[in-house]
Structure 1
Amino acid sequence: MSTTFSANEPPSIRPPAASIWPTTAEAGHALEPGVVLEIDDATIRLVRELRCDGAPFVRMVAWSAIYDDPSFAINAYEALAHHQDRLAYWSVGATALGTDWLNPTISMLVEDYLIQRAEDQVTADREADEARRVAAKELAAATKIDLYYLVRKKMFCLTLDRGDEEFWSIKFQEKWERDRFGDWMQRQKHRFSDFADYMIEGDRFELERQLLREMLVTEQAVKKQGLSAGGRRPLRFWRGEA
Structure 2
Amino acid sequence: MAALSFELLPNDMTWLQDFRPYVDGRPVEWSEVKLNVFAGQVCTLKLDYGGSWLIGEPDAQICLQFKPGEEVQGLVFDPPLGQLVAMEQGSTSLSWTIFTDQAQNRPFVLEFDIPLITEMPPSPPLPGITRDEDSWLEEFTFYLNSQEFDLAHRKLSLKDGTNNTWELRAKEDSALINATSVALWMSGGDALQLVFEPPLFQPQPVTTAPLSWSILTKASHWGSFTLELRSPHLPTRSIDAEVNVHGT
Would you call these one fold, judging by a TM-score over 0.5?
no
Bigger proportion of residues as strand: 2
User: TM-score normalised by the shorter chain: which range applies?
Assistant: under 0.3
Using CA pairs under 8 Å that are at least 6 residues apart, name the structure with larger relative contact order, 1 or 2: 2
With structure 2 as the length reference, what TM-score do the two structures score? 0.19
**TM-score with structure 1 setting the length:** 0.19
Higher helix share: 1
